[in-house]
A and B are shown apart, each in its own frame.
Chain A
Amino acid sequence: MEAYSMNSQDFFEALEAGVLIGSHCLDCGTKSIPQRQICPKCLGSRTEIVEYSGKGFLAAFTVVYVPSSMMANNGFDSKNPYCVGIVELDEGPKISAQILDVDLSNPESISIGTKLVMASAKNNAGENQKPHLAFRPV
């Protein structure tokens, strides 16, 4: 994973290439996402970039009816809501993502623990053409 640095924007460079990166600590083994130069657990700086499998499960979620401006630009509103959640990766760390392909008309049907796999969601917003992180049920 030498293609990517610890600079936070490289997370998005990798994502654009369809790769989910983070870091792991060579001293204590703690895994992080996104990647971090300094281990949040042992504070050591011997960390290296790792690639995650992109598999995980839903740890928490919401269906948003009053969108952020970015999502409003992507066409979402109260009649066309979207799901975002927190995904716990099989490797352990958690990250926020949009959750695709769930029944938005019935949020109660969306369940914590659902197995997910990484996808990516396109943005229409002018200044931010890059995709953002998304997952969908396996």
Chain B
Amino acid sequence: MILMPEKKLKRGVAVAGVGLSKFGAFPEKNSRDLFVEAFLDLMGSMKGFDPHQIEAFYLGNFSSDQFEKQAHLAPILASWVGLSPISTLRIEDACASSGVALRQAALAIASGQYDVVLVGGVEKMTSLEIAAVTEALGTAADAQFEVSVGFTFPGFYAAMATAYMHEFQADPKAFYHVSIKNHNNGALNEYAQFRQTIREIMESKKERAAQKGRPVPAWEDEFDFLSDPKGNPMVAWPMALFDCSPVSDGAAVALLVSEEIANSFTETPIYMIGSGQASDGALPERENLYSIPAALEAGRQAYQMANLGPDDIDIAEVHDCFTIAEIIATEDLGFFDRGKGWQAAIEGKTARDGIRPVNTSGGLKAKGHPVGATGVGQVAEIWKQLNGIAGERQVQGNPKIGLTHNVGGTGQTCVVNIFERRA
């Protein structure tokens, strides 16, 4: 796989600001409205920044074609925030679309072509019924040979979960721990789709039953609730509802600038010091089904460029589209040994106060997963954590190095980016 021994950016790239829309279900908002919300969030955090300085716009978007019957979205969004006639393009790499867009924008800056680039990600998903959403997401897999036999996206990851559990005799309770942890984090994120812990969700379901005069479920704790199909119905065994990221609307933006001018935009830039991206075929083509080879390769490239290893990463936002995906990600990225990620989840090692905080934003599970916005949304969390402005969910110990891991499909695309705070 290694074509050249060393891959470095030709010049440095920094993130100078981030913006998010709220993630959730917003019937009154379309893609462009979500994008405007995220753009205004960015502008509000950047004093004195003139958007006329933006030279190009890179958009990650999976499928406005299917969700809104709107293709060619990048120039529309650019126009909607007044950026015409700058160069725009849309990148589609399924759920990794905006992670890839961010990497491509960084490569464009590194090449010397641009100094100031806006990266965006957006997805408006709740406009379709759930069956149509399932079908739209299915187009990110191999339609001819995988979807044609009845596979769904939860199904793919569920199959990976069975392979993982079989190979490592993993306790499926680990999945509950991932979900509970990510909801605990999302509850502290004002942009998150779910701002409730699973305990709170359980209690509110009990209250509602009582109000309606129905029998009140006897759930004692979160684990009790999650193991009851009445509270947590099965989607694709062994993945149940609370293992799955939701259907979401949302947008995210990041302003990327060349390293030498970063301090003229912000006092707190973070620097993109590593980046890697890899691809793969359909799920059956892989040697094993309990790891994502594209994540291993993207991680290898990013660590090499940054000249860092897994132990140097203070915080990570990983692609937990399903709970099993977070466990596999923490192994693919080298945070834990192969086959040990499930134990690490149970032991709380990935919690905010654990040795390796993962998905402090709430992750895709609780923050929400507007697929095209997810990659840049991850970078927004890294920006906040590295700059010490993540509020109640701030990780202690002044984190300095953050990583994002953004997966498209079942791992046909993976992009890993590493960021550093220098101040």
List A residues 74-97 near B (Cβ within 8 Å).
Answer: 76, 78, 81-82, 84-86, 93-97
Q: Is B203 an interface position by the 8 A CB rule?
A: no
Q: How many A-B residue pairs have CB under 8 A?
A: 112
For chain A, which range describes its interface: under 10, 10 to 19, 20 to 34, or 35 or more residues? 35 or more
Give the Cβ gap from A108 to chain B, nearest Cβ, in Å: 8
Which 7 pairs from chain A and chain B are nearest by CB?
A62-B158, A94-B284, A60-B159, A60-B163, A107-B237, A63-B237, A112-B166
> Residue A117 at the B interface, CB < 8 A?
no
Residues of chain A with a CB closer than 8 A to B132's CB: 69
The answer, yes or no, to whether B233 is at the interface (CB within 8 Å) is yes
CB distance from A95 to the nearest CB of B (A): 5
Write out the residue numbers on chain B whose beta carbons fall within 8 Å of the beta carbon of A97. Answer: 149
The 8 A CB mask of B107-149 against A (1 = contact, 0 = none) is 0000000000000000000000011101100100000111111
Interface presence of B18 (CB below 8 A): no
Q: List 25 interface pairs A-B (beta carbons < 8 Å), by A numbering.
A: A11-B145, A60-B159, A60-B163, A62-B154, A62-B158, A62-B239, A64-B155, A68-B135, A69-B132, A70-B147, A70-B150, A78-B234, A84-B150, A84-B155, A95-B145, A96-B145, A96-B283, A98-B149, A107-B237, A112-B162, A132-B148, A132-B149, A132-B150, A133-B148, A134-B149
Question: Known pairs A128-B148, A132-B149. 4 more at Cβ < 8 A?
Answer: A62-B161, A65-B236, A76-B150, A98-B150
Q: Is B285 an interface residue (CB 8 A)?
A: yes
- A66 contacts B by Cβ under 8 Å: yes
Q: Please, which residue of chain A has its CB at the minimum distance from the CB of B238?
A: A107
**A interface list, Cβ under 8 A from B:** 8, 11, 34, 40, 59-72, 76, 78, 81-82, 84-86, 93-98, 107, 112, 121, 128, 132-134
Given the interface contacts A70-B150, A94-B285, does A65 sit within 8 Å of B159 by beta carbon? no
| Identity of the chain B residue whose Cβ is nearest the Cβ of A89 in the assembled complex | B284
A8 and B134 CA atoms in complex are apart in Å by 24
- B339 to A: closest C-beta gap in Å: 15
Contact of B159 with A84 in the complex, beta carbons under 8 Å:
yes
Whether the Cβ atoms of B166 and A68 lie closer than 8 Å is no
Looking at the assembled complex, report how far the CB atom of B147 sits from the nearest CB atom of chain A, in whole angstroms: 6
> Contact mask B217-235 → A, CB, 8 Å, 1/0?
0000000000000000111
Chain B residues positioned under 8 Å from A82 (CB to CB): 150
Asked if B148 and A70 sit within 8 Å, CB to CB, the answer is: yes
B-chain residues with CB within 8 Å of residue A94 when the two chains form the complex: 284-285
With contacts A66-B152, A69-B134, A132-B149 taken as known, whether A60 is within 8 angstroms of B160 at the C-beta atoms is yes
- A60 touching B144, Cβ below 8 Å: no
Known pairs A60-B162, A84-B159; A68 contacts B238 (CB<8 A): no
- Least Cβ distance of A129 to chain B in Å? 13
Contacts of B130 in A (CB 8 A): 66
CB < 8 Å neighbour of B237 from A62, A98, A112, A128: A62
Whether the Cβ atoms of A96 and B134 lie closer than 8 Å is: no
List, in ascending order, chain B residues with CB within 8 A of A64's CB: 150-152, 154-155, 158, 235-236
